[in-house]
Amino acid sequence: MKRLLANHREGIYTALRVVAGLMFATHGAQKLFGAFGGVPVGAGSFMGLAGVIELAAGVLIALGLLTRPLAFLASGEMAVAFFVVHAPKGPWPIENGGELVLTEAGSKKRAGVWLVSPERLEQDLAHLGPDALELDETSLAAILAQVGEIGARHRVNVCNVFHAGDGNLHPNIPYNAHDRDEAERVHMAMGEIMEACIAAGGSITGEHGVGRLKRGALEDQLGPEVMALTQRIKRALDPQGLMNPGKLVR
């Protein structure tokens, strides 16, 4: 075996260099041009700079040009990428996204993973909804018409999911979390949807209870007397305010 490896050492080294260089260049092409199911980023961004290094260094290494300094530069870029991007998610590449299987990038499933990762959704797209509103099931049609009118007036898209049999309505509005104007319109629309539900004799709590989004509408539903009574009970049971401090009932 040693003799076989020794006789073909140069060829083996060449093959490894070419494969490593082309794989590195592939990552750069994904970042810069969206090739192989990637998502293009700006060349002047942190990820764009990484893409330039990966593409240029990968191609030159595959060609056998300036291999030592470029390998040093590329390995430094890989170390930065690992500790800044991947390591916080876990120590192993299979769990931190350090190395996805490029051979599957052409499939629809793999392309979907490249194009819409959970991290990218968290950064670029949010959704807002009061989780569950509850009405008499005979009121659903009228409320859905109102929800549609509210969404159109505020120029937002409302995605309705509901339990037709028990009157639970789950309106959700997807929106760009970085667009302040759109975010304000979404919150106004959600406030009006809850007002419409209360006016129809429904409840804002539904099956999921009341969270931070809906707490402003709780007094509109229950009235100030019930809210004051709830606060007195809370203070009697928790005079030091240790249980869930600063939340719904103070």
Model confidence pLDDT, tens digit, residues 142-169: 888 899 999 999 999 888 877 767 778 8
Q: Let me know if residue 249 belongs to a domain.
A: no
Residue among 216, 218, 173 nearest 198 (CA): 218
Domain count, the chain: 2
Residue among 177, 185, 113, 119 nearest 151 (CA): 185
Q: Let me know if residue 85 belongs to a domain.
A: yes
Residues 13, 112, single domain; the answer is yes
Residues 86, 158, single domain; the answer is no
Model confidence pLDDT, tens digit, residues 2-48: 777 677 788 888 999 999 999 889 988 988 888 877 778 777 787 88
pLDDT the model gives residue 94: 66
Model confidence pLDDT, tens digit, residues 192-223: 988 988 888 888 877 777 777 787 888 888 88
Residues 107, 154, single domain; the answer is no
Model confidence pLDDT, tens digit, residues 54-99: 999 999 999 999 999 998 998 898 888 888 877 777 777 666 666 5
Residues 117, 28, single domain; the answer is yes
Residues 44, 138, single domain; the answer is no
For the chain, the average pLDDT equals: 78
Which one of 123, 142, 171 terminates a domain? 123
Residues 152, 74, single domain; the answer is no
pLDDT the model gives residue 136: 66
Residue 160 pairs in a beta bridge with: 171
Which one of 75, 100, 123 terminates a domain? 123
Is the model's pTM score more than 0.75?
Answer: no
Q: Both tokens of residue 248?
A: 């719904």
Q: Both tokens of residue 148?
A: 């549609």
Q: Both tokens of residue 36?
A: 């192989």
pLDDT higher than threshold 50 for residue 116:
no
Residue-range definition of the domain harbouring residue 213: 126-237
**pLDDT tier, 105 (very low <50, low <70, confident <90, very high otherwise):** very low
* C-alpha radius of gyration, the chain, whole number: 28
pLDDT the model gives residue 160: 82
Residue type for position 31: K
Q: Let me know if residue 142 belongs to a domain.
A: yes
Alpha helices in the chain (DSSP H): 2-7, 9-33, 46-63, 67-81, 93-96, 108-115, 118-124, 140-153, 180-199, 215-222, 224-237
Q: Both tokens of residue 76?
A: 């430094």
Q: Let me know if residue 244 belongs to a domain.
A: no
